[in-house]
Amino acid sequence: MDELMNLLSRYKKQWSLEQGFYTSGETLAAESEKIWKRDWLFAGFTCEIPLPGDYITYTVFNHSAVIIRDDDGGIYAHHNTCRHRGSVICTEERGNEPDLKCPYHHWVYEKNGRLRSARMMDKDFDRGAFGLHPVHVSILSGVIFICFANDPPDFSRVRSDLAPYLDTYDLHHAKVAYRDRYELDANWKLIGENFRECYHCGPAHIEYCQAVIGADLFEERAQLWAEQKEVWRTGGFPEHTIHEVMGPGHFGIRYPLRPGFATYSLDGKPVAPLMGKHKDYDTGVVGLIHYPNFWMDAVADYIWVMRITPLDPARSVVDLTWLVNGWAEEGRDYDIERLTEFWKITGEQDWQLCENNQKGILSEKYSPGPLSDTETDVVHFHKWYLTALGRK
Amino acid sequence: MDELMNLLSRYKKQWSLEQGFYTSGETLAAESEKIWKRDWLFAGFTCEIPLPGDYITYTVFNHSAVIIRDDDGGIYAHHNTCRHRGSVICTEERGNEPDLKCPYHHWVYEKNGRLRSARMMDKDFDRGAFGLHPVHVSILSGVIFICFANDPPDFSRVRSDLAPYLDTYDLHHAKVAYRDRYELDANWKLIGENFRECYHCGPAHIEYCQAVIGADLFEERAQLWAEQKEVWRTGGFPEHTIHEVMGPGHFGIRYPLRPGFATYSLDGKPVAPLMGKHKDYDTGVVGLIHYPNFWMDAVADYIWVMRITPLDPARSVVDLTWLVNGWAEEGRDYDIERLTEFWKITGEQDWQLCENNQKGILSEKYSPGPLSDTETDVVHFHKWYLTALGRK
Amino acid sequence: MDELMNLLSRYKKQWSLEQGFYTSGETLAAESEKIWKRDWLFAGFTCEIPLPGDYITYTVFNHSAVIIRDDDGGIYAHHNTCRHRGSVICTEERGNEPDLKCPYHHWVYEKNGRLRSARMMDKDFDRGAFGLHPVHVSILSGVIFICFANDPPDFSRVRSDLAPYLDTYDLHHAKVAYRDRYELDANWKLIGENFRECYHCGPAHIEYCQAVIGADLFEERAQLWAEQKEVWRTGGFPEHTIHEVMGPGHFGIRYPLRPGFATYSLDGKPVAPLMGKHKDYDTGVVGLIHYPNFWMDAVADYIWVMRITPLDPARSVVDLTWLVNGWAEEGRDYDIERLTEFWKITGEQDWQLCENNQKGILSEKYSPGPLSDTETDVVHFHKWYLTALGRK
| pLDDT at position C127 | 96
Rounded CA separation B80/B83 (Å): 10
CATH 2.40.110.10 fits B41-147, yes or no: no
Q: At what angle do helices B376-389 and B2-9 cross, to 10 degrees?
A: 150
Asked if C82 and A374 come within 8 Å (Cβ–Cβ), the reply is: no
Helix (H) or strand (E) segment spanning residue B321 = strand B315-325
The minimum CA-CA distance between C129 and chain A, rounded to whole Å, is: 11
Q: Do C356 and B103 touch (CB under 8 A)?
A: yes
Contact at 8 Å (CB) between C40 and C138? yes
**CB–CB of B357 and A81 under 8 A?**
no
C136 touches chain A (CB under 8 A): no
Residue B93 sits at the chain C interface (C-beta within 8 Å): no
Dihedral angle, C-alpha C352, C358, C360, C362, nearest 10 °: -150
Say whether residue B130 is in contact with chain C using an 8 A CB cutoff: yes
Phi then psi for C94, rounded to 5 degrees?
-155, 155
d(CA A307, CA A288): 12
How does residue A243 score in pLDDT terms, banded at 50, 70 and 90? confident
Contact A101, A108 (CB under 8 A): yes
All residues of chain A having their beta carbon less than 8 Å from the beta carbon of residue B370 are 84, 121, 125, 130
Helix, strand or coil, per DSSP, at residue B298: strand
User: Under a CB-based contact definition with an 8 Å cutoff, are residues C45 and C169 in contact?
Assistant: no
> Using CA atoms, how far apart are residues C80 and C94, in angstroms rounded to an integer?
13
Residue B362 scores a pLDDT above 80: yes
Mean pLDDT over residues A341-361, rounded?
98
Residue A3 confidence class, pLDDT cut points 50, 70, 90: confident
Q: What is the mean pLDDT of chain C?
A: 96
* H/E run at residue B356: helix B336-361
Provide φ and ψ at C221, rounded to 5°: -140, 5
Q: How many CB pairs under 8 A join A and B?
A: 81
**pLDDT, tens only, C54-77:** 999 999 999 999 999 999 999 999
Question: pLDDT per residue over C285-321, tens digit each?
Answer: 999 999 999 999 999 999 999 999 999 999 999 999 9
Give pLDDT, residue A289: 97
Judged on CB neighbours under 10 Å (0-12, 13-18, 19+), B14 is middle
DSSP-derived 3-state class of residue C41: strand
Q: What is the torsion angle, in degrees rounded to the nearest 10, for the CA atoms of residue C324, residue C326, residue C330 and residue C331?
A: -100
Q: Which residue of B has its CA nearest to A63?
A: B363
pLDDT band at B148 (very low <50, low <70, confident <90, very high): very high
Q: What is the mean pLDDT of the segment spanning C378-385?
A: 95
Q: How confident is the model at residue B243 (pLDDT cuts 50, 70, 90)?
A: confident
Contact (CB, 8 A) for A338 and A268: no
Query: First vs last Cα of chain B: how many Å apart?
Result: 12
Confidence of residue B1 (pLDDT cuts 50, 70, 90): low
pLDDT for A308 equals 98
Alpha helices in C308-371 (DSSP H): 336-361
Q: How far is A11 from chain C (nearest CA, A)?
A: 14
DSSP reduced 3-state for B361: helix
Which are the contacts of A2, defined by CB distance < 8 A and separation ≥ 6? Answer: none
Stretch A302-314: mean pLDDT = 98
Rounded Cα distance, B196 and B202, in Å: 14
Q: What is the ipTM of this complex?
A: 0.95
Q: Are B285 and B257 in contact (CB under 8 A)?
A: yes
Q: What percent of chain C has pLDDT over 90?
A: 94
How many contacts, defined by CB atoms under 8 Å, are there between B and C? Answer: 83
Quick check: A87 pLDDT over 80?
yes
Measured between CB atoms, which of A363, A373, A374 is closest to C80? Answer: A363
Degrees to nearest 5, angle at CA A143 with A328 and A331: 15
Strands B54-60 and C143-147: unpaired
Q: What is the mean pLDDT of residues C230-234?
A: 95
pLDDT at position A389 is: 94
By Cβ distance, the residue of C202, C353, C364 closest to B103 is: C353
Express each pLDDT in B246-293 by its tens digit. Answer: 666 999 999 999 999 999 999 999 999 999 999 999 899 999 999 999
State how far the Cα of C110 lies from the Cα of A324, in Å rounded to an integer: 48
Q: Is residue A245 pLDDT above 90, yes or no?
A: no
A363 touches chain B (CB under 8 A): no
CA of B323, closest CA in chain C: separation in Å? 31
- Verify cis geometry, omega within 30 degrees of 0, for the bond prior to A292: yes
pLDDT at residue B245, as a whole number: 65
Find, among A269, A163, A164, A279, the residue nearest to A231 by Cα. A279
Q: What is the pLDDT of residue B3?
A: 84
Query: B-chain residues within 8 Å CB-CB of C200?
Result: 104-105
> At C231, is the secondary structure helix, strand, or coil?
helix
Tens of pLDDT, residues B119-133 = 999 889 999 999 999
Q: What is the DSSP string of C159-222?
A: HHHHHHHHHTT-GGGEEEEEEEEEEESS-HHHHHHHTT--TTHHHH-HHHHHHSTTTTS-S--H
Exposed, middle or buried, C29 (CB in 10 Å: 0-12/13-18/19+)? Answer: middle
What's the average model confidence in pLDDT over B173-190? 98
Cα–Cα distance, C222 to A76 (Å, whole number): 86
User: Which residues are registered as beta bridge partners of C66?
Assistant: C57, C78
- Measure the CA–CA gap between A111 and B56, rounded to whole angstroms: 52
- Tell me what the pLDDT averaged over chain B comes to: 96
- Calculate mean pLDDT across residues C123-152: 97
Average pLDDT over residues A77-82: 98
pLDDT confidence band for B392 (50 / 70 / 90): confident
Nearest to B239 by CA among B227, B215, B255, B224: B255
**Residue B246 pLDDT:** 66
Per the omega criterion (within 30 degrees of 0), is the bond before B292 cis? yes
Q: How far apart are CA B30 and CA B217, in angstroms?
A: 36
| d(C-alpha B371, C-alpha B376), whole Å | 8
Q: Which amino acid is at A163?
A: A
Q: Which of C63, C104, C118 sits opposite A363 (nearest CB)?
A: C63
C203 with B103: Cβ contact below 8 A: yes
Q: What does the radius of gyration of chain A's CA atoms come to, in whole angstroms?
A: 22
Say yes or no: C89 contacts chain A, CB-CB below 8 A. yes
Residue A246's pLDDT is 66
φ, ψ (nearest 5 deg) of residue A253? -160, 150
Residue C108 at interface with chain A, using a CB cutoff of 8 Å: no
User: What's the CA gap between C97 and A227, in Å, rounded?
Assistant: 44
What CATH architecture applies to the domain A174-389? Alpha-Beta Complex (3.90)
- Residue B221's nearest CA partner among B247, B198, B246, B195 is B198
Residue C53 CB partners (closer than 8 Å, separation 6+): C68, C69, C96, C97, C98, C99, C111
CB atoms B85 and C217 under 8 Å: no
Candidates A80, A88, A122; nearest CB to B373: A122
Residue of A nearest to C63 (CA): A363
> Per-domain residue ranges for chain B?
41-147, 174-389
pLDDT in tens, C321-373: 999 999 999 999 999 999 999 999 999 999 999 999 999 999 999 999 999 99
pLDDT of residue C1: 62
What pLDDT digit, counting tens, does each position of C272-287 carry? 999 999 999 989 999 9
Question: How does residue C2 score in pLDDT terms, banded at 50, 70 and 90?
Answer: confident
Mutation target among C57, C58, C60, C87 for the A interface, most CBs of A within 10 A: C87
C-alpha distances (whole Å) from B253 to each of A28, B161, B171 are 50, 11, 18
- Which amino acid is present at B357? N
Beta-carbon count within 10 A of C137 CB: 19
Q: What region, left, alpha or beta, does residue B193 occupy, with left being phi > 0 and alpha being psi -120 to 50 degrees?
A: alpha
DSSP tag of B33: I
Question: Is pLDDT above 90 for C245?
Answer: no
- pTM (2 d.p.): 0.95
Pairing mode of beta strands B143-147, B41-45: antiparallel
